[in-house]
Amino acid sequence: MNIKDVSEHMRDIDFAMLSTRTEGGDIAARPMSNNRDVEFDGDSWFFTYEQARTVSDIERDAHVGLSYQGKKGLLGKPPIFIAVEGKAELIRDKAAFKEHWTKDLDYWFKNGVDTPGVVLIKVRASRVHYWDGQDEGEVPLK
């Protein structure tokens, strides 16, 4: 499987679990919608609020994990599972917001890109693993 194959699978998965390391060293995970912004080339994009614990966790330790689970597999096979390890970057630039904004985000952010306290999280993958029934492996990123 290559990065294009992973992108195709991710297109059908709206939510990922984003895992961060807390101040006390524990792992915290929360669901994050990729809003179908999944032309995955090694980067994943998520919106949140400035006051979210996710933001303070990333400011302290930018190493994060993402986990994705596909829908039911074909012919009774298990669905695809994708695990991404990477480094997160917090972006507070409205031009970047506009580039990754979809109308669905208005549900959570009532004033669109002008909603006070919006933050864009960019996760740059360093490793990508997948499991798909009997097939599994690490996906080369470049």
Note whether 58 and 88 are within 8 A (CB): yes
- Say if 139 falls within a structural domain: no
- Say if 140 falls within a structural domain: no
- Say if 7 falls within a structural domain: yes
- Say if 118 falls within a structural domain: yes
Closest Cα partner for 89 from 61, 117, 127? 61
Note whether 93 and 101 are within 8 A (CB): no
Of the pLDDT bands very low, low, confident and very high (cuts 50, 70, 90), residue 116 is very high
The arithmetic mean of pLDDT across residues 25-31, rounded, is 96
**pTM for the full predicted model:** 0.90
- Say if 47 falls within a structural domain: yes
pLDDT tens-digit readout, 88-102: 999 999 999 999 998
How many domains does the structure of the chain reveal? 1
The CATH number given to whatever domain includes residue 118 is 2.30.110.10
pLDDT tens-digit readout, 126-136: 999 999 877 89
Quote the pLDDT of residue 61: 97
Instruction: Tell the burial category of 41 from Cβ atoms under 10 Å away from its Cβ (0-12, 13-18, 19+).
Output: middle
- Say if 142 falls within a structural domain: no
- Say if 125 falls within a structural domain: yes
Q: In terms of residue numbers, what domain contains 26?
A: 3-134
Give the largest Cα separation in the chain, rounded.
47
Quote the pLDDT of residue 87: 97
CA distance 87 to 37: 18
Query: Which amino acid would we find at residue 68?
Result: Y
- Say if 19 falls within a structural domain: yes
